[in-house]
């Protein structure tokens, strides 16, 4: 099939698949850029000019109002600045150039390749996911951003100037992409200002701005940012009629950060002020990059599910739309977990993401004699989750590859899948509890506690659970059966552990406890087959030709396309009624779902046949016998009619 596709269609498919793979691989890259760009100790762009390695944020230096601080502004300070700028702009050594001269070329090739794929997809793609719209509007910015992200995280070099170029280009491209992703113009302007501040700060760090000058720069930033953030917060709150939205809260937090940073600088806590401003700025970009990574990943998953050779797979069709939702949920969990770890690093709680993860996993909680670590709980949850996912995939595989091709009944297939699901979940639960350190002896204690609970208040739950197992094994009712329960017709759509879902004819759903289906009388119309009898009662007027009536009824039954020849239909005389001679037409159909429709069509056909044959269907009649009345009743009745005639004529006038 694929060999017969046109050349441009095959090229488009190849480009789409390659682009999806690249974007799924790089969906975590934005958060990694911030984490690497903000906290990596080896990067020369991160070494703050106002701090010393190992210096605490609460180490006090010279206060801004002290003579010692102003004494630092001497001629040697400007010479130091000039020397740092010269070192920043000087040509790297031949050894560094020879060792890393291939890095810029590789990054340029990556940027051109990804940019070309994005441009091709934006121009010739048949369908574009909304999550990719912002990226496809700026394909070359997307290519450069991914290339610089790879350079910061994977292809790092000791060349300070090139690292600064990567940071600046990456920040500009990220700003273009983020502003294209956001739909609020006011928020776009804020992002542009923050990006400009970020680039300026990184530039001053790269050139090695001396500490006193960098402190004055931070003071200026805080003096300008504090009133601007305060005014922006008030305007945003006024637009929302006095209510606080996330953007207003962010502006208020920016005001607080500006005030605290200014106070810390004034009183000599330079490292604290710098860390506070940098961490706040990094928090904003971590949130934005995580949001962008989620959009890229979700767009990649959606596009991957739309690729024909993936979408047309029987297993994928059997799994349904739940596959895409679960994949997106897992992606969001990974992205925001990584962003959370990045925030811990940015705010100085841990030196790097690996240390943050290891420290969180080492935390322990005690419940009596049982001590559990976060790592143990995490592994137990992962085992349970993977067990559920494996059960879900195995059910779809078993159904699509084995049960469905063999033509097994829907109820049989559902019972097999349910039993396999319960077995796998039970296995996963036991494995997870074993991973958590709960031994079999403690299982026995737990079973005893459950026995006491059953004796006091869990009888109904256990009864429904056991009844659910009986329904799956014995199968008195199964998924797809049409039943009549408490004068309610419906079709069983799901048999769960505790209850069964029945969908009625008016599309409402009834939740029936499993114990009621076992203990009460249930009419199952499709227990052994879907064949059902339809009975149409009919009455004709006295004096009608009975042979003709039976002939018409038999002809209507034979001519209807849904009636079965075996069992044979029958038209029978049932008795003499008060107003009519009663008959019944009894037919058999092979689809219980068409019962009401067939009954309606048979009634219409009988009416047409009776009209053509001159057979009438009588109205109900009653004879009233008056045993004792006044002798002059007839005269009073006639006189009453005569007296009412003038009134009627007057009303007509």
Structure confidence by residue, pLDDT tens digits, 552-565: 999 999 999 999 98
How would you class 541 by CB atoms within 10 Å of its CB: exposed for 0-12, middle for 13-18, buried for 19 or more? Answer: middle
What CA–CA distance (Å, rounded) separates 495 from 89? 73
At 380 the pLDDT is: 87
Domain count for the chain? 4
At 106 the pLDDT is: 82
Residue 534 banded pLDDT, cuts 50, 70, 90: very high
Is 169 found in the same domain as 116?
yes
Cα angle, residue 7 at apex, residues 5 and 12 outer, rounded to 5°: 90
What is the three-class DSSP state of 207? coil
Angle between helices 75-89 and 211-239 (to 10 degrees): 80
Is 486 found in the same domain as 391?
no
At 554 the pLDDT is: 92
Is 496 found in the same domain as 405?
no
Name the least confident of 174-188, 434-448, 477-491, 595-609. 434-448
Cβ atoms of 332 and 294 within 8 Å: the answer is yes
Tell me whether residue 23 is in a domain.
Answer: yes
Cβ atoms of 575 and 582 within 8 Å: the answer is yes
- HSE of 124, CA atoms in CB hemisphere, 13 A: 14
Q: Provide the percentage of residues in the chain whose pLDDT is more than 70.
A: 77
- Secondary structure in 3-state letters for 271-310: HHHHHHHHHHHHHHHHHHHHHHHHHHHHHHHHHHHHCHHH
* Structure token digits, residue 563: 């009636």
Is 416 found in the same domain as 301?
no
Measured in residues, the chain has a length of 653
Angle between helices 270-306 and 29-39 (to 10 degrees): 160
What CA–CA distance (Å, rounded) separates 33 from 37? 6
Tell me whether residue 434 is in a domain.
Answer: yes
Name the least confident of 178-182, 218-222, 582-586. 178-182
Is 540 found in the same domain as 487?
no
Tell me whether residue 108 is in a domain.
Answer: yes
Q: Which residues pair with 492 in a beta bridge?
A: 502
Chain centroid to CA 145: how far? 28
Is 171 found in the same domain as 110?
yes
* Domain termination residue (choose one: 456, 471, 486): 471
What CA–CA distance (Å, rounded) separates 399 from 413? 7
Q: Is the pLDDT of residue 605 over 90?
A: yes
Among 48-52, 126-130, 407-411, the range with the most confident prediction by mean pLDDT is: 407-411
* Structure token digits, residue 137: 């509007």
Kindly report the backbone phi and psi dihedral angles of residue 600, in degrees, each rounded to the nearest multiple of 5, phi listed first.
Answer: -65, -45
Is 445 found in the same domain as 584?
no
Is 499 found in the same domain as 418?
no
Alpha helices for 475-613 (secondary structure H) = 514-519, 546-559, 595-613
Q: Provide the percentage of residues in the chain whose pLDDT is more than 90.
A: 11
Is 519 found in the same domain as 480?
yes
How would you class 550 by CB atoms within 10 Å of its CB: exposed for 0-12, middle for 13-18, buried for 19 or more? Answer: middle
Mean pLDDT of 600-611: 92
Is 290 found in the same domain as 322?
yes
Tell me whether residue 408 is in a domain.
Answer: yes
Residue 2 banded pLDDT, cuts 50, 70, 90: very low
Residue 255 banded pLDDT, cuts 50, 70, 90: very high
Tell me whether residue 142 is in a domain.
Answer: yes
Tell me whether residue 547 is in a domain.
Answer: yes
Domain that holds residue 451: 360-471
Cβ atoms within 10 Å, residue 583:
21
Cβ atoms within 10 Å, residue 380:
21
Tell me whether residue 619 is in a domain.
Answer: no
- Element spanning 441, H or E: helix 440-456
Q: Compute the Cα dihedral for 327, 329, 335, 341 and give only its sign.
A: negative
Is 209 found in the same domain as 143?
yes
pLDDT tens-digit profile of 333-389?
888 998 899 889 888 888 888 888 889 888 887 766 667 788 888 888 889 889 988
Is 177 found in the same domain as 325?
yes
Q: Which residues pair with 485 in a beta bridge?
A: 488
């Amino acid at each position: 099939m694929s060999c017969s596709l046109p050349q441009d269609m095959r090229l488009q498919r190849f480009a789409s698949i390659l682009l999806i793979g690249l974007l799924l691989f790089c969906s975590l890259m934005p958060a990694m850029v911030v984490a690497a760009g903000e906290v990596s100790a080896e990067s020369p762009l991160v070494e703050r000019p106002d701090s010393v390695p190992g210096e605490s944020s609460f180490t006090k230096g010279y206060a801004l109002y002290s003579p010692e601080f102003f004494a630092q502004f001497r001629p040697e300070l400007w010479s130091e600045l000039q020397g740092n700028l010269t070192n920043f702009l000087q040509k790297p050594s031949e050894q560094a150039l020879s060792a890393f001269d291939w890095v810029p070329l590789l990054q340029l090739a990556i940027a051109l390749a990804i940019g070309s794929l994005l441009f091709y997809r934006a121009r010739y793609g048949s369908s574009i996911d909304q999550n990719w719209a912002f990226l496809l509007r700026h394909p070359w910015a997307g290519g450069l951003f991914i290339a610089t992200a790879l350079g910061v995280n994977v292809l790092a070099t000791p060349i300070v100037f090139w690292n600064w170029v990567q940071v600046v280009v990456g920040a500009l491209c990220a700003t273009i992409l983020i502003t294209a992703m956001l739909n609020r113009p006011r928020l776009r302007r804020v992002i542009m200002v923050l990006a400009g501040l970020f680039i300026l700060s990184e530039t001053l760090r790269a050139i090695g701005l001396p500490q006193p000058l960098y402190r004055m720069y931070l003071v200026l930033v805080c003096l300008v940012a504090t009133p601007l953030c305060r005014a922006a917060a008030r305007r945003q709150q006024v637009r929302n009629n006095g209510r606080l939205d996330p953007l207003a809260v962010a502006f208020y937090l920016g005001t607080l950060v500006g005030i605290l940073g200014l106070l810390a600088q004034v009183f000599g806590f330079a490292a604290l002020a710098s860390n506070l401003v940098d961490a706040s700025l990094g928090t904003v970009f971590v949130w934005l990059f995580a949001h962008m990574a989620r959009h890229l990943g979700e767009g990649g998953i959606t596009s991957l599910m739309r690729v024909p050779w993936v979408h047309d797979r029987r297993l994928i069709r059997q799994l349904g739309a739940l596959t895409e939702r679960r994949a997106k949920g897992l992606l969001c969990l990974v992205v925001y977990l990584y962003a959370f770890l990045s925030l811990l690093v940015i705010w100085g709680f841990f030196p790097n993401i690996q240390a943050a993860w290891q420290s969180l996993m080492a935390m322990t909680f005690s419940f009596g004699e049982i001590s559990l670590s976060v790592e143990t709980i995490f592994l137990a949850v992962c085992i349970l989750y993977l067990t559920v996912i494996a059960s879900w995939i195995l059910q779809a595989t078993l159904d699509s590859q084995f049960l469905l091709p063999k033509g097994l009944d829907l109820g049989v297939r559902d019972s097999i899948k349910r039993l396999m699901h319960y077995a796998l979940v039970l296995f996963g639960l036991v494995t997870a509890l074993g991973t958590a350190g709960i031994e079999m002896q403690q299982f026995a204690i737990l079973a005893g506690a459950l026995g006491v609970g059953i004796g006091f208040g869990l009888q109904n739950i256990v009864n429904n659970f056991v009844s659910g197992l009986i329904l799956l094994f014995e199968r008195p009712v199964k998924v797809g059966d049409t039943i009549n329960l408490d004068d309610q017709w419906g079709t069983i759509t799901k048999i769960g552990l505790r209850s069964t879902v029945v969908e009625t004819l008016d599309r409402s759903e009834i939740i029936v406890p499993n114990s009621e289906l076992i203990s009460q009388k249930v009419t199952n119309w499709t227990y052994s087959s879907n064949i059902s009898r339809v009975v149409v009662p009919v009455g004709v007027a006295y004096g009608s030709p009975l042979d003709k009536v039976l002939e018409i009824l038999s002809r209507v039954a034979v001519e209807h396309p849904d009636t079965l020849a075996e069992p044979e239909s029958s038209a029978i005389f049932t008795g003499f009624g008060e107003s009519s001679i009663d008959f019944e037409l009894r037919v058999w159909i092979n689809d219980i779902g068409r019962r009401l429709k067939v009954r309606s069509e048979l009634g219409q056909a009988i009416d047409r046949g009776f009209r053509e044959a001159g057979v009438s269907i009588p109205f109900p009649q009653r004879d009233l016998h008056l045993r004792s009345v006044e002798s002059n009743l007839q005269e009073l009745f006639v006189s009453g009619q005569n007296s009412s005639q003038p009134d009627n004529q007057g009303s007509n006038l």
